[in-house]
Structure 1
């Protein structure tokens, strides 16, 4: 606990020559005003002794009660999930969740219709691997089914449901998860991809915000570098300098208030370091609502056969990643704890 003490208001008829603070924890100060940090809990009878020109002293004291700060750990698996539009705490621990029966299509709901597998073009590109979800995308394998609108596999994601959630202005959300790059991961010099996005649910519209793995030279960055992009204010992007290697895991926390420039907010931490921190517009003027969260792999450049071929030539055609427990909090204005710092509640453990 850091406390500022002021003794400069002391007065004397002949003049003051000295100040002596005793913080009762083995530390002191000879300044009229002082700041001191108490490192442990306890009651401290802090005293100030003032000396005048005649050598006379006067002492005054006050009691400082330092209590242990409340530490809130990550949300427990027992919290369970909720749908996208419901307020409250949400946790998806993959080892506890039954995976769906394959539907032979682009996707299927699971976890009591709180989540949805969203794939192009084979839903089996998302599987369960112990306590994690595994995402695996190869543009040419498995063969694209005739019901798919794409010529190549480009997407393996899970998202919250319902798709068209449309959070009202002022909705606050926290997201926390760990994300691992497979042991066979190869940086693609030519083709970028996303591993997180929040989308307004409008076909053809870019996400509100996204976490992207860059191609070489994109935004002036290096191939494989993680960038944070706020499309609502495009070009608003932040280079993190993080270039994950095969087998590496990163921890991510995102905090957003879906709003305009007067009340919108976006904060992003990776491995505990805050890279993006802005009061800024986070929703589109044309679509003034918060959207749906998605995790996994979205490699849209693979819609183009020439770009697929470039990845194949680099040996970067098989992309595998893993998603750890997802913790999420949704709050509407007026909800309990709206605006409360909840980093520790969603941070990966």
Structure 2
């Protein structure tokens, strides 16, 4: 094969708090690298497009089905006031509040989203099917997005536990999930804080990556990370919605890769990617027994915070498809 005097451009961005500078380096490339060269040039342009404006985070969002980089910064967004319903769209109908069963469990405080679920402090309203408050989340919109197989997505955000956080020994909960809407089914993928003796390692409070897309139940992958009160975690996820042969799930927490597995990420029965959701979902508080178990440990509520959200959605025909976009979404 004929070698050409080409250069392969690889783009990386400093992991410091200064997000304005991009670092470029070069290596020799062959003729076969023309496509990679083009892809990386376009990825660099995509990075610079977002970063060249100024150091202040500005929302440049998009709908769930829109491709490319999407950013939400919260300081320039407001959560709508509403009553008598479970959910409400916001940010130009790009995102949705999902608060069950009290409408004011998601708010914005000092540039961060605040999630607070108190099962007993606020009476579950009549419009809700449950007796207690169990959920405070935001999700991409519109619902249902139904990403076709082969779609890839990157997600990046910081997540902080409240200063009064107590590890619940009896009740698991999740702070991220992707669901494609099949009623009665668990999310396709999720990040759980596990209960003691639960599946996986059985370590209370430990974060597990959970993949439930197959017909054979939930697959739990422990991270050996047990976050504590006040702790902030920087999280990056990369998923390719696909079957056993082309599905992919990667997860990094605080810059360390804790999961990298080629695996099915869509259901057999409904082979599409779903809508991503962030916040708090504590389904065990749906009944009085779950609430009582938490109360006996001194847990009366759960409060967390989320920083700016960045995500990338791409289809197989997009120029930067499968390009390493970690730094594009990293908190």
Q: Same fold (TM over 0.5)?
A: yes
- State which of 174, 183, 190 in structure 1 corresponds to 2:163: 183
Q: Deviations over 1:179-203 (max 9, x none)?
A: 0000111111100000000001122
Question: Deviation at 1:280?
Answer: 1.1
Q: Is the 8 A contact 1:92 1:326 kept in 2?
A: yes
Query: Larger Rg: 1 or 2?
Result: 1
Q: Secondary structure at the match of 1:345?
A: helix
Q: Is the 8 A contact 1:94 1:132 kept in 2?
A: yes
- State which of 196, 201, 211 in structure 1 corresponds to 2:181: 201
Residue 228 of structure 1 is matched in structure 2 by 209
- State which of 283, 296, 299 in structure 2 corresponds to 1:313: 296
1:96 maps onto 2:76 in alignment:
yes
- Normalising by structure 1, we get a TM-score of 0.78
Equivalents in 2 of 1:42, 1:259: separation in Å?
Answer: 33
Residue 279 of structure 2 is matched in structure 1 by 296
Q: Secondary structure at the match of 1:308?
A: helix
Moved runs in structure 1, 4+ residues, more than 6 A? Answer: 40-43
Q: Secondary structure at the match of 1:159?
A: strand
- Normalising by structure 2, we get a TM-score of 0.82
Question: Deviation at 1:261?
Answer: 1.1
Residue 230 of structure 2 is matched in structure 1 by 247
- State which of 154, 158, 183 in structure 2 corresponds to 1:174: 154
Q: Secondary structure at the match of 1:295?
A: strand
Counting strand residues as a fraction of each chain, which structure ranks higher?
Answer: 1
Q: Secondary structure at the match of 1:228?
A: strand
Q: Is the 8 A contact 1:226 1:241 kept in 2?
A: yes
- State which of 113, 117, 128 in structure 2 corresponds to 1:137: 117
Question: Deviation at 1:42?
Answer: 10
Q: Secondary structure at the match of 2:163?
A: coil
Equivalents in 2 of 1:130, 1:96: separation in Å?
Answer: 11
Q: Is the 8 A contact 2:240 2:248 kept in 1?
A: yes
Q: Secondary structure at the match of 1:261?
A: coil
Listed as ranges, the gaps of 5+ residues in structure 1 are 1-39, 44-69
Q: Deviations over 1:311-342 (max 9, x none)?
A: 01111121000011000000011012011000
Equivalents in 1 of 2:174, 2:232: separation in Å?
Answer: 16
| 1:153–1:79 distance in 2 versus 1, CA, 3 Å | closer
| 1:181–1:75 distance in 2 versus 1, CA, 3 Å | farther
| 1:103–1:263 distance in 2 versus 1, CA, 3 Å | same
Q: Pairwise mapping of residues 1-349 of structure 1 onto structure 2 (< 5 A)?
A: 72=47, 75-76=50-51, 77-78=57-58, 80-219=60-199, 220-233=201-214, 234-348=217-331
Q: Name the Cα RMSD after superposition.
A: 2.0
Q: Secondary structure at the match of 1:327?
A: strand
Q: Is the 8 A contact 1:75 1:91 kept in 2?
A: no
Residue 41 of structure 2 is matched in structure 1 by none
Q: Deviations over 1:142-183 (max 9, x none)?
A: 111111100000000000001111000100000000000001
Equivalents in 2 of 1:130, 1:173: separation in Å?
Answer: 28
Listed as ranges, the gaps of 5+ residues in structure 2 are 1-23, 28-43, 52-56
User: Which shifted more, 218-227 or 293-302?
Assistant: 218-227
| 1:42–1:239 distance in 2 versus 1, CA, 3 Å | closer
Question: Deviation at 1:235?
Answer: 3.8
Q: Is the 8 A contact 2:59 2:76 kept in 1?
A: no
Q: Is the 8 A contact 1:74 1:346 kept in 2?
A: no
Q: Secondary structure at the match of 1:311?
A: helix
